[in-house]
Amino acid sequence: MDKSPDAFRTISEAAEELDLPQHVLRFWETRFANIKPLKRGGGRRYYRPEDVMLLRGIRHLLYDQGFTIKGVQRILKDQGPRYVIAVGEGKGLDEILPMIEEAEAASDEAEIEEAVMLASPALDQESRDKLSEVLRELLECKRILERAREH
């Protein structure tokens, strides 16, 4: 059974989807600060949908366009990760922006659900709802800050 497009991917699933060995993804994490998969117990990596989209863009620039790692680092610094995602998807930034925002929102919802579920045994429903709302606001603040850094 295939995962939904907004599901998190393990390193093996991401590597298979991108047709790359797992060690390449781990190496890229050391070279590209924008690649930050969630890490769970035992260091197990979970890639968000936008992480996979960014990896696809990096792969395209390195393997298809012939850029060096330094070249891709420069593009990420100058143009931002959304640009690299758009390049990887073969579309303009204006076309890809809704997809990126949708993937970010899906990841945010998954993170919120997980955080609330971890806290839920000690909280009543009203408190869980308030916590969810605060987490959504914090994630929106985080998204605004990340966009500001890109420009």
Q: How far apart are CA 91 and CA 94, in angstroms?
A: 8
What is the rounded end-to-end Cα distance, in angstroms, of the chain? 40
In the DSSP assignment, the letter for residue 19 is T
pLDDT in tens, 76-134: 888 888 888 888 887 765 665 666 666 666 666 666 666 666 665 667 778 777 777 77
Q: How far apart are CA 49 and CA 58, in angstroms?
A: 14
Q: How far apart are CA 37 and CA 68, in angstroms?
A: 22
19 — pLDDT class (breaks 50, 70, 90) = very high
pLDDT in tens, 20-30: 999 999 999 99
How many CA atoms lie less than 13 Å away from 4 in the CB half-sphere? 7
Query: What pLDDT shows up at residue 1?
Result: 47
Q: Which residue has the higher pLDDT, 52 or 144?
A: 52
Contact by Cβ (8 Å): 59, 53: no
Distance from chain centroid for Cα 127:
28
Q: Average pLDDT of 35-45?
A: 86
Q: 115: how many CB neighbours lie within 10 A of its CB?
A: 13
Query: What pLDDT shows up at residue 47?
Result: 92
